[in-house]
């Protein structure tokens, strides 16, 4: 993959026809180092956030080799990582996927949230005695910008019996939950960890692992949450109250926070109508969340020679498909001079960007490059490593 020092440098060599996904793998290394140094347990990467090979490679090189996977395709994408540990945490899986995961890919860790799913996992692994089973519990997602509740999770009433049943057949037993994506209040984790503590006491089952899921926030113009450190402090405090704190492994499964800043998309303006720009990527491409989740991504003009123009005008964007819901209200603040033929860099699209793109209207394909400059809203200190104890000092 071609490497450039910045988007403007790339554009001084090429005028790409397709939108360009610009990867910054160096930011993944920093984010991984921060999590490994600051989370008091095992750090898994939720491959669903971005399973591009350079991202997976950068995580593995930085020391993250455990993956939360949701499907056989994700398993195949990460199975090549040396010593990969795979956690099949989708609470509802097909029988075929369970069987192939167990037999072909050596997966031994599975989530379930019902009697039926537990039976399915046991059936398809032939009653294996080497499984780690994670009971996914339902929990409130009130502190997250993308709630995931309602679909999965055993209720407080169902959970004790399911734990007891799984205890009979699992080699190791865990509890897992998800507070919702882009959780912006540290208490989100503490509240559910206390719920986990009550479940352990009420069921009388001493679990071996508590997996607190993903949900750690990234920085966006519309949501600049408290430092990740305060999330870790809350988690440590709440985990310390668990009855099983001395014997229990803690795990987390961040997706977004590890990779949000690792990609920008460089788009071309194909038309301007008033303060609305028509660009060549959009809601059905890497910018789904800007259309459907109320996200605002940082944007800047990167046409060579025009980069220093003052950003002073609020624009809305339309993507390239003929669907009028392909609309990104923003606002995206850009120089007033932006017009047809210009290029924009839209940042922080590394999480749930490329993985949500589809081929609607024939769009949704990208060129790819590596950029070595800093992301638009960096969260982790440049040069950050295990000794780094400061999250997000580098405000853009
Ligand atoms: C089971 C599970 N773990 C982890 C994640 C990652 O969440 P996030 O990207 O918010 O960190 C998700 C996201 O949907 C998930 O479903």
- Percent of the chain at pLDDT above 70? 96
Q: What is the pLDDT of residue 244?
A: 87
Which residue has tokens 């040069």? 383
The torsion angles phi and psi of 225, rounded to 5 degrees, stand at -75, 170
Domain 26-259 falls under CATH 3.20.20.10: yes
Ligand 1 centroid distance, CA of 76 (Å): 18
Q: What is the pLDDT of residue 392?
A: 34
**CA 108 – CA 166 distance, rounded (Å):** 14
Considering only CA atoms, which residue is closest to atom 12 of ligand 1? 214
pLDDT at 265 over 90: yes
Q: Which pLDDT score is estimated for 37?
A: 97
Strands 343-346 and 299-301: antiparallel
Pocket perturbation via mutation, ligand 1, pick of 35, 45, 46, 231 by most ligand atoms within 8 A of CB: 46
Determine whether the shortest distance from the Cβ of 215 to ligand 1 is under 6 A: yes
Answer whether residue 323 shows pLDDT above 50: yes
14 alpha carbon to ligand 1 midpoint, in Å? 36
Q: Where are the alpha helices (DSSP H) in the chain?
A: 7-13, 25-38, 53-62, 72-78, 95-105, 115-124, 159-169, 187-203, 228-240, 256-259, 288-292
Is any atom of ligand 1 closer than 6 Å to the C-beta of 49? Answer: yes
User: Which atom of ligand 1 lies closest to the CA of 183?
Assistant: 10
Does residue 113's CB lie within 6 angstroms of at least one atom of ligand 1?
no
How confident is the model over 188-194, as a mean pLDDT? Answer: 97
What is the pLDDT of the chain when averaged over all its residues? 94
Q: Where are the chain's structural domains?
A: 3-22+263-371, 26-259
- Cis status, amide bond into 331, omega within 30 of 0: yes
Atom of ligand 1 nearest to the CA of 49: 9
Ligand 1 centre from 363 Cα, in Å? 27
Ligand 1 test: best mutation among 89, 110, 214, 252, most atoms within 8 Å of CB?
214
Helix pair angle (95-105, 115-124), 10° resolution:
40
Q: How many residues does the chain have?
A: 396
Q: Out of 3-7, 17-21, 150-154, 382-386, which region has the weakest mean confidence (pLDDT)? A: 382-386
| Cβ(179) – ligand 1 distance below 6 Å | no
> What region, left, alpha or beta, does residue 294 occupy, with left being phi > 0 and alpha being psi -120 to 50 degrees?
left
Locus of tokens 């990609």: 263
For residue 180, give the ligand 1 atom closest to its CA: 10
89 CB near ligand 1 (under 6 Å): yes
Quick one: average pLDDT of 247-251? 95
Give pLDDT, residue 245.
Answer: 86
253 in ligand 1 pocket by Cβ < 6 Å? Answer: yes
pLDDT for residue 395 is more than 70: no
Write the pLDDT tens digit of every residue in 203-219: 999 999 999 999 999 99
How high is the pLDDT of residue 389? Answer: 39
* Pocket probe mutation, ligand 1, options 136, 176, 213, max atoms within 8 Å of Cβ: 213
Query: pLDDT digit string (tens) for 226-238?
Result: 999 999 999 999 9
Does this chain's domain 3-22+263-371 share its CATH topology with 26-259? Answer: no
The model's pLDDT over 124-163, given as tens digits with 9 standing for 90+, comes to: 999 999 999 999 999 989 999 999 999 999 999 999 999 9
Ligand 1 centroid to Cα of residue 198, in Å, is 24
CA 182 to ligand 1 center in whole angstroms: 10
63: number of Cβ within 10 Å: 13
> What is the SS3 assignment for 252?
strand
Instruction: Give yes or no for residue 383 having a pLDDT over 70.
Output: no
Beta carbon of 91 within 6 Å of any ligand 1 atom:
no
**pLDDT per residue as tens digits for the range 338-369:** 999 999 999 999 999 999 999 999 999 999 99
Ligand 1 atom nearest residue 111's Cα: 1
145 Cβ below 6 A of ligand 1: no
What is the per-residue pLDDT for 197?
97
By DSSP bridging, strand 343-346 and strand 263-273 are antiparallel
CB contact set of 45 (below 8 Å; sequence gap of 6+): 32, 56, 59, 64, 66, 67, 68, 253, 254, 255, 258
Mean pLDDT computed over 283-288: 98
pTM of the model: 0.94
42, 47, 49, 137, best to mutate for ligand 1 pocket (most atoms within 8 Å of CB): 49
- According to CATH, the topology of domain 3-22+263-371 is Lyase, Ornithine Decarboxylase; Chain A, domain 1 (2.40.37)
Query: What average pLDDT score do residues 79-99 get?
Result: 97
Give 224's pLDDT tier (boundaries 50, 70, 90): confident
Q: Which tokens belong to 27?
A: 């930011």
């Amino acid at each position: 993959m071609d490497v450039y020092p910045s988007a403007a440098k790339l554009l001084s060599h090429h005028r790409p026809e397709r939108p360009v996904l610009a990867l910054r793998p160096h930011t993944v290394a920093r984010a991984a180092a921060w999590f490994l140094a600051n989370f008091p347990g095992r750090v898994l990467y939720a491959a669903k956030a971005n399973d591009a090979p350079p991202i997976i490679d950068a995580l593995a090189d930085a020391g993250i080799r455990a993956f939360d996977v949701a499907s056989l395709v994700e398993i195949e994408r990460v199975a090549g990582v040396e010593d990969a540990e795979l956690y099949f945490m989708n609470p509802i899986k097909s029988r075929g996927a369970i069987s192939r995961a167990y037999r072909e890919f050596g997966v031994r860790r599975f989530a379930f949230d019902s009697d039926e799913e537990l039976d399915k996992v046991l059936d398809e692994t032939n009653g294996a005695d080497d499984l780690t089973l994670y009971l996914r519990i339902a929990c409130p997602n009130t502190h997250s910008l993308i709630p995931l509740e309602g679909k999965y999770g055993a209720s407080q009433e169902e959970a004790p019996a399911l734990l007891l049943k799984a205890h009979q057949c699992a080699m190791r037993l865990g509890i897992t939950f998800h507070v919702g994506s882009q959780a912006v209040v540290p208490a989100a984790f503490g509240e559910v960890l206390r719920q986990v503590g009550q479940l352990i006491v009420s069921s009388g089952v001493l679990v071996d692992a508590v997996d607190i899921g993903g949900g750690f926030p990234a920085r966006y113009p519309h949501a600049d949450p408290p430092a990740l450190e305060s999330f870790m402090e809350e988690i440590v405090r709440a985990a310390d109250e668990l009855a099983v704190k001395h014997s229990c492994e803690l795990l987390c499964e961040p997706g977004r926070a590890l990779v949000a800043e690792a990609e920008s998309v460089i788009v071309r303006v194909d038309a301007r109508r008033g303060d609305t720009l028509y660009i060549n990527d959009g809601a059905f491409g890497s910018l789904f969340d800007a259309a459907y989740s109320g996200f605002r991504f940082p944007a800047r003009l990167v046409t060579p020679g025009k980069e220093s123009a003052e950003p002073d005008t609020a624009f809305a964007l339309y993507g390239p498909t003929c669907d009028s819901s392909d609309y990104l209200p923003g606002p995206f603040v850009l120089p007033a001079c932006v017009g047809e033929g210009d290029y924009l860099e839209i940042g922080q699209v590394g999480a749930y960007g490329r993985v949500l793109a589809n081929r609607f209207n024939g769009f949704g394909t990208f060129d790819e490059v590596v950029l070595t400059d800093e992301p638009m809203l960096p969260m982790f200190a440049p040069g950050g490593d295990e000794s780094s104890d400061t999250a997000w000092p580098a405000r853009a």
